[in-house]
Copies of this chain bind each other. A is one copy, B any other.
Amino acid sequence: MELKWVKDFLALSAMGNFRIAAQQRSVSQPAFSRRIQALEAWIGAPLFDRVRQPSQLTQAGRLFLPRAREIADLANTAKQDVRALVLEDKERMRFSTISSLAQTFLPPWLKSLQSFIVADQFVVKTEYGTIADYFSALEDNSVDFFICYEDPNNRLQMNDSVFQSLKLANETLVPVISPDDQGAPRCWLPDRPSKPIPCLHTLTKGSPSPVRYHMETKYSHLTFKSVYESSIALTLKVMAIEGFGLAWVPIAFVADDLAAGRLVRAAEPADDLVVDIVIYRCAKITEPRVEKLWKVLMRQQNGQTVCDQNKVERMRCRPASDSYL
């Protein structure tokens, strides 16, 4: 049975005339007649009484009519619902990241992506607990990408046949502190003050933290005391200006404050922490929008410009989704 036969039936039951119903269905009258006969053959009963004019439903036809409507409605609704979901899902790029990157790096970066990819909505999730949680979410397709800081000297060591990664950028984190009355830093690395050095952190709660690692390795002889933690990275700068302690903050973030003297460096520039911003994906997830972005990022990494993509690399999970649109 074909859905178009059911729709033909509905048209004929409404119009009572083969020629007019055929016209409405955009087929010739003989073709229409055969389709109605095909439906009647499938059903196993005549559905229309042709002797009388206009054609009227038989008892079988009257019994079939509400069911025909339901079949047609159900098929159309199913199609529409599935399409709606696909469109919704197609247009959502889902990222997970640590909150500081969510607030600093991602907004301008996502903005820059918009000339390369089609996505109406970006979803940025920051609520995962541990590093394992972030990667699990990639694996079970809850998110498409995970973006994080990664110390070049302390790679995450993920299995790169399962999780592929690309470096998006790097960032210089400069240790800053409020100046004393004379404009000098309240402490200087790697000098060892008599008291523990108060320091400010973004909330990382089980997440990878190049800053912590840096502190724990480069300044292992010093004692630090965490006096402030917040999931809102911008507040670290403000708190540092207020004199609460030392913080590693992206240099671009505080350039003006350093120039104005509101903050001062707490170490030599050579001691700045340069970290990579790395994006991860799960290799098994081959959805078209994920593949598309990955290609863009790989080209960016290799210094390529985005070229004409008429010859797209062949991928599994065919037929290619573009053919649906």
Contact = CB atoms under 8 A, between A and B. Distances in A.
A86 B71 contact: no
A289 to B, nearest CB: 13
Contact of A317 (B49, B74, B75): B49
B51 A284 contact: yes
A306 interface: no
A318 B284 contact: no
Given A74-B71, A75-B1, A81-B63, A50 B318 contact: yes
Contacts of A111: none
Interface of A (DSSP majority class): helix
Interface string A47-85: 001111000000110011001101100110111011101
B44 A324 contact: yes
Interface stretch (A20-28, A35-43, A153-161, A231-239): A35-43
A314 interface: no
B44 A83 contact: yes
A321 B43 CA distance: 11
Contacts of A59: 85, 89
B45 A284 contact: no
15 contacts: A1-B3, A41-B319, A45-B83, A45-B321, A46-B319, A46-B321, A60-B85, A63-B82, A67-B78, A67-B82, A70-B74, A71-B71, A71-B75, A71-B78, A74-B74
Nearest to A89: B59
Given A71-B71, A74-B67, A85-B63, A50 B317 contact: yes
A41 B318 CA distance: 11
Interface string A296-325: 000000000000000000001111010111
A181 interface: no
Contact of A50 (B60, B316, B321, B323): B316
B46 A83 contact: no
A320 to B, nearest CB: 9
Interface of A: 1-3, 37, 40-46, 49-52, 59-60, 63-64, 67-68, 70-71, 74-75, 77-79, 81-83, 85-86, 89, 284, 286, 316-319, 321, 323-325
Contacts of A45: 82-83, 85-86, 321, 324
A1 B316 CA distance: 25
A57 to B, nearest CB: 11
A127 B31 CA distance: 47
A89 B63 CA distance: 13
A77 B46 CA distance: 17
A156 to B, nearest CB: 25
Nearest to A70: B74
A43 to B, nearest CB: 5
Given A51-B316, A51-B317, A317-B51, A44 B79 contact: yes
Contacts of A79: 1, 42-44
